Amino acid sequence: MTRALGLLVCLTLLAAGQTARVLRVPVWADAGNGPAESLSAGALRVSVAGGAARVVRVLGPEAELLLLLTLDMTEELSLADLAREALAGEIRALPDNVYIALLRAQDGLRVLVDPTREREPVLRALRELPISGKAGLLETLPAAFKLADAIQQRSAVRVALLYVTDSNVYNYRDDYINPVVNWSDQHDLSRRFPEGLIKEKIARLLRQLAPYQTPLYIVHLNYRSDRVNEAYQSGLMQLASALGGASQFCRSRQEIPQAVAAALARLNRMYRVDVEASLRRDGNVQIKIESEAGALSYRDRFVLP
């Protein structure tokens, strides 16, 4: 009897350490896997942290998509004009189930156009957008993710965050350049690792943003090859990849329309798969999703707050 009681107490404590959690996973059915409608809840096998999980909901390309389009263009007007023209063309071609909210990253995250299926207000705001100020991508990411995840939690819609930026690490209000402490000392580490501060900033952002579940896409209009900007751009790649999305960096003007078109097309094909599993209250979890239709690409790691 005492032994049975002890076992019951242990099981109770284990249950108390777990709770049903819902992960909203961005998923893409790769090319060649058949029609999009084949990706249904019944065709998916999911495990979370090595244990079985239940598919609560699958929202496919036919479901409503809210695109939070955030603009961070401050430098070269000609590149910004190319991006605006490309965005305008792709926005006009988006299906009616896509809502667009237009935001600007300068001086804090600001909403220029509330979510709408109407294209003209978005296109007008695009045309009137001033190309000036300081880069704001890094500073506005936490607010953008907080907004996007709040919408996902309350609504049965797909949500995606797309930044279009020409950001230069030297054009932020905060100084992310590692200052040289001692110019006379050839062994001063600050001389050898000028990219140290921006790497630290990216690492902090990765930890801060890891609990969010909205996918992040970045289209960068102007790849820069100096050492500190390369570290910055590598950090943006890390952020987008870790947060379920991807990034594209344009090395020429000709690549801008292609990059914009590719990002919007991929986001429009996105599925949202809601998965419920009994998990510990915090920590890293790995998710595995398999489909009878074929291979899938998806975010496979989450951090539970």
Q: In the prediction, which pLDDT does 295 show?
A: 85
| Dist CA 23 CA 207 (whole Å) | 18
Q: In the prediction, which pLDDT does 181 show?
A: 46
For the chain, residues classed under CATH 3.40.50.410 are 65-166+195-268
- DSSP conformation letters of the chain: -HHHHHHHHHHHHHHHTEEEEEEEEEEEEPTTS--GGG--GGGEEEEETTEE-EEEEEE-TTS-EEEEEEEE--S-HHHHHHHHHHHHHHHHHS-TTEEEEEEE-TTS-EEEEEEES-SHHHHHHHHH----S-B-HHHHHHHHHHHHHHHHHHSSSEEEEEEEE---GGGBSS--S---S-TT-TT-HHHH-TTHHHHHHHHHHHHHHTT--S-EEEEES----SHHHHHHHHHHHHHHHHTT-EEEE-SSTTHHHHHHHHHHHHHHT-EEEEEEEEEESSEEEEEEEEETTB-EEE--EEEE-
Q: In the prediction, which pLDDT does 16 show?
A: 42
User: What pTM, to 2 d.p., does this model score?
Assistant: 0.88
Residue position matching structure tokens 């990219």: 195
Q: In the prediction, which pLDDT does 179 show?
A: 59
Structure tokens at 122: 């978005």
| Domain 19-60+273-304 -> CATH class | mainly beta
- Which of these, 21, 29, 27, 26, lies nearest to 48 by C-alpha position? 21
Residue by residue, pLDDT tens for the chain (305 residues) are 444 434 333 333 333 445 678 999 999 987 544 444 468 888 899 999 888 899 999 999 999 999 999 999 999 999 999 999 999 999 999 999 999 999 999 989 999 999 999 999 999 999 999 999 999 999 999 999 999 999 999 999 999 999 999 999 999 998 888 654 444 555 544 445 678 899 999 999 999 999 999 999 999 999 999 999 999 999 999 999 999 999 999 999 999 999 999 999 999 999 999 999 887 656 889 999 998 778 899 999 999 87
Q: In the prediction, which pLDDT does 282 show?
A: 63
| Dist CA 12 CA 33 (whole Å) | 44
Q: In the prediction, which pLDDT does 2 show?
A: 44
| Distant-in-sequence, close-in-space partners of 207: CB < 8 Å, separation ≥ 6 | none
Chosen CATH of 65-166+195-268 out of 3.40.640.10, 3.30.70.20, 3.50.50.60, 3.40.50.410: 3.40.50.410
